[in-house]
């Protein structure tokens, strides 16, 4: 994408050099301006993450999870920029302002399974088995505010049209990500006893005397006992009473399916833009072009120490409310995003001459030896 932008800039420069319109007096163009733009583009995200299983107590080696994938990304945004051309011909300049992006996409993980040491509502130790039989998906909305500082280049085409190119860095002031998930999980359990005391069975293959409350065990049991309780009723009965109370359930939904994750502020990125500007009236120009922005964020909070889900949630009366849930975003250590697309906006020159010299013929009579527009 960057190479395409650079090629487009080179084409513009060549066209401006060869065009007879390129001979327009550069002194006419004013120095100080304000750009107000909106943009729409595509978004891609690259993530470095750690597996959730590292955050579970004594997780077994048969724990696994799929790779995080970001899809269907797009970006919208707006910016307000103040710029100043520093040389006499108003060719080179510098600008700064504020950027706002609202970016959207889908974050998914196609599989998840973990077996680890846990405690039940009676503080008894057991092996909790958590898995999902369908992909976990989150709808993501990332909002960020940044300060762009850019170097500017401008080339006139004729009295009413000129093109610009700009590139520089962006300083990220803040970033906040909202999510909404469809996640639900199967909570299964394996209980081992030494006497009457429940202990953690940390062997991948459960002991022959263990009480196994899993779908796999139920399927084998049902083959020999066709009149057994239906699967959901069996799990519900085990969850409602006995030492397994509050520890098993099927298709348990996230207790809170929405939330917010915050990343580090103060990181740097970079941006570039090429645009054409057409004069509408006096000092006002319509702008349109292409942009590219790359940003990176780090997860420096304690988010990386969170589990994806680890326990069932119950009301004070003992009613099941689902399971706790921490966003897939908490697994991310670094997030590198790039968005590119189109921009459209308005440029307003605020020099005095910009308000007074509105006659194109009069403007063309401005010469390098004449008064400089200020």
pLDDT at 325: 95
Closest CA relative to residue 294, chosen from 45, 81, 5, 106:
45
323-349 pLDDT tens trace: 999 999 988 888 888 999 999 999 999
Task: Say which range, 7-21, 221-235, 286-300, has the weakest mean pLDDT.
Answer: 7-21
* CA 285/CA 345 separation, integer angstroms: 9
What kind and span of H or E run contains 44?
A: strand 32-49
pLDDT over 50 at 24, yes or no: no
Burial environment of residue 374 by CB neighbours within 10 A (0 to 12, 13 to 18, 19 or more): exposed
Give SS3 for 124. Answer: coil
More confident of the two residues 16 and 102: 102
87-111 pLDDT tens trace: 888 899 999 999 999 999 999 999 9
Residues whose CB is less than 8 angstroms from the CB of residue 153 and which lie 6 or more positions away in sequence, other chains included? 91, 92, 164, 165, 166
Task: Say which range, 195-204, 238-247, 361-370, has the weakest mean pLDDT.
Answer: 361-370
Give SS3 for 227. Answer: coil
**Which phi and psi (to 5°) does residue 120 adopt?**
-90, -170
pLDDT at 184: 94
Domain 2-364, CATH among 2.60.120.380, 1.10.645.10, 2.40.128.20, 2.40.160.20? 2.40.160.20
Q: Please give the model's pTM, rounded to 2 decimal places.
A: 0.79
pLDDT at 363: 42
pLDDT at 178: 95
149-161 pLDDT tens trace: 999 999 999 989 9
Please report, for the chain, the start and end positions of each structural domain, with discontinuous segments joined by +.
2-364
Contact 153, 167 (CB under 8 A): no
């Amino acid at each position: 994408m960057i190479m395409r932008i650079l090629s487009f800039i080179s084409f513009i420069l060549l066209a401006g050099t060869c065009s007879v319109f390129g001979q327009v007096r550069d002194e006419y163009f004013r120095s100080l301006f304000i750009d107000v733009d909106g943009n729409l583009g595509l978004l891609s995200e690259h993530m470095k993450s750690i597996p959730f299983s590292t955050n579970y107590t004594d997780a077994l080696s048969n724990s696994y999870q799929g790779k995080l994938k970001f899809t269907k990304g797009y970006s919208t945004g707006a910016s307000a920029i103040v710029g100043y051309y520093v040389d006499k011909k108003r060719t080179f300049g510098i600008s700064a302002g504020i950027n706002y992006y609202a970016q959207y996409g889908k974050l998914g993980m196609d599989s998840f399974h973990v077996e680890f040491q846990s405690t039940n509502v009676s503080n008894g130790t057991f092996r909790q088995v958590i898995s999902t039989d369908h992909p976990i998906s989150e709808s993501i909305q990332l909002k960020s505010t940044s300060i762009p500082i850019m170097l500017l280049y401008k080339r006139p085409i004729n009295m009413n049209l000129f093109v610009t190119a700009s590139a520089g860095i962006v300083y990220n002031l803040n970033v906040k990500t909202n999510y909404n998930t469809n996640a639900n999980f199967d909570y299964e359990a394996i209980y081992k006893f030494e006497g009457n005391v429940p202990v953690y069975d940390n062997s991948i293959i459960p002991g022959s005397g263990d009480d196994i409350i899993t779908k796999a065990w139920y399927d084998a049991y049902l083959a020999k006992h066709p009149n057994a309780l239906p699967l959901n009723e069996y799990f519900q009965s085990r969850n409602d009473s006995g030492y397994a109370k509050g520890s098993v359930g099927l298709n348990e939904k996230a207790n809170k399916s929405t939330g917010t994750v915050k990343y580090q502020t103060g990181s740097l990125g970079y941006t570039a833009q090429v645009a054409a500007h057409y004069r509408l009236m006096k000092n006002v120009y319509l702008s349109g072009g292409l942009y590219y922005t790359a940003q990176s964020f780090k997860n420096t909070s304690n988010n990386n120490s969170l589990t994806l889900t680890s326990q069932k949630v119950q009301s004070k009366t003992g009613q099941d409310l689902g399971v706790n849930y921490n966003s897939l975003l908490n697994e991310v250590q670094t997030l590198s995003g790039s968005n590119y697309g189109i921009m459209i906006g308005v440029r307003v020159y605020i020099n005095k001459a910009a308000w007074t010299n509105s006659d194109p013929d009069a403007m063309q009579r401005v010469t390098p030896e004449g008064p400089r527009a200020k």
